[in-house]
Amino acid sequence: MKQFEVPAFYRSPLITAIKKKRKEADKMKKDFSPTLLDFGPVQIFLARHFGFCYGVENAIDIAFRTVAENPGKRIFLLSEMIHNPHVNADLHAHGINFLHDTAGNEIIPLSSLRADDIVLIPAFGTTLEMEADLHARGILTEPYNTTCPFVEKVWNRSEVIAKKNYTIVIHGKPKHEETRATFSHAAAGAPAVIVNDMKEAELLATYITGEKQPDTFYQVFKGQYSEGFDVTKDLQRIGVVNQTTMLASDTQAIADYLKKVMLDKYLPAGGDPEAYFADTRDTLCYATHDNQTAVSGMLETKADLAIVVGGYNSSNTSHLVELCEGKLPTYFIKNREHLMAGGEILHYNLHRKEEKITANFLPDNRPVKILITSGASCPDAIVEGVIEQLLGYFPDSKKLSELLDSY
């Protein structure tokens, strides 16, 4: 696999050594048990897979290389490169300005762009409409396109099944940059509709079966279907693709459910399933799958709590939090500064969309057992910082340097 030049300040000597050792011992990635870091009074269990994925490293490589190779030029990003506040702050500090926020609202007017400006497309990709707008302004995007190859794989698969007259059902968050981009690419070749979760998939099924009146579809799925979508015709052959950072198990469950609905309606006596439902299992992102499977493996370890590190608006990170929350107390934090003096932790409540401070989050038993993972856009250096900060609560613990010597 291609190697990327990622700034050294994102790396962690300890975590790099751990990942290298685990990779050498488990080349086929069959062992999803966590790595134990025994500091004495506190034991850290690191997920088998976490941190920067291929697509994120590719995007960071292109962005920093673009800055280095174009001194004096104005450089912009369409929106956040990835959903990590530290990385985006670093890019801004290196002179890259953001044209839009994550919701697509304009920060810097596109009308202010010049043909000699550089505009980076983020890892999530962008819409065909935005690409056309930039090209019309004389701005070349191809050399500065950091779209994740696995996102492009979803687009390519959508194009293939669109040519076979399937409607594209996209499992994703309707307002997420990647879903907006995937919807644009899918809708260029076929009717398309977005479902956010299983509840919306079940709603969609009521229009497939005819249980609900067709006219109500357009209000129920307002803003989530392509122009000219005809609910009476466009749900007779479908294929499911996904926003790559969604829970893989959720996407698979939605696909399995909709496939059964289609076959129950159109092939009750058997026949060729692909006459009505396209096989799109190959659109699931390997990194999302590995990180989620690693969390499931980590959760088999008896522990006191879990800490998930990453950006609050990171979709893949939020799903890791959800997995952990189902098993034990879980704290979603951005960095080491959220581990505060006096045994307090500043963390994010996904469901209420707000930060809160919890006092005395560490139990009195010894050793304290803590599970740790991070999102695909979180630098390993930040995870190492969190571990180091945790050790500060235990004055008699081993030092990070002592464990590094063992690797």
pLDDT tens digits for range 150-197: 999 999 999 999 999 999 999 999 999 999 999 999 999 999 999 999
Where do the domains of the chain lie, and which CATH numbers do they carry?
A: 8-53+287-405 (3.40.1010.20), 54-144 (3.40.50.11270), 150-283 (3.40.1010.20)
Structure confidence at residue 282 (pLDDT): 67
Shortest CA distance to 392 belongs to which of 39, 51, 18?
A: 39
Across 47-166, the runs of DSSP E, i.e. the strands, are 75-77, 96-98, 118-120
pLDDT at 281: 76
185, burial (CB in 10 Å: exposed 0-12, middle 13-18, buried 19+) = buried
The answer to whether 102 and 79 have CB atoms below 8 angstroms apart is yes
In angstroms, what CA-CA distances link 243 with 154, 170, 371?
Answer: 8, 7, 27
Task: Give pLDDT < 70 ranges for the chain.
Answer: 1, 282
User: Looking at the DSSP assignment, which residues form a beta bridge with residue 118?
Assistant: 75
Which pTM does this prediction carry? 0.93
Torsions phi, psi for 245 (to 5 deg): -95, 5
Question: What is the C-alpha R_g of the chain?
Answer: 23
Which residue spans within 15-92 are E strands per DSSP? Answer: 35-38, 42-46, 75-77
Q: What is the full DSSP assignment across 169-199?
A: EEES-TTSHHHHHHHHHHHTTS-EEEE-SHH
What is the Cα–Cα distance from 248 to 240, expressed in whole angstroms? 12
Give 227's Cβ-side CA count (13 Å radius): 3
Residue 268 confidence (pLDDT):
85
Residues with a known catalytic role? 178
| pLDDT computed for residue 315 by the predictor | 93
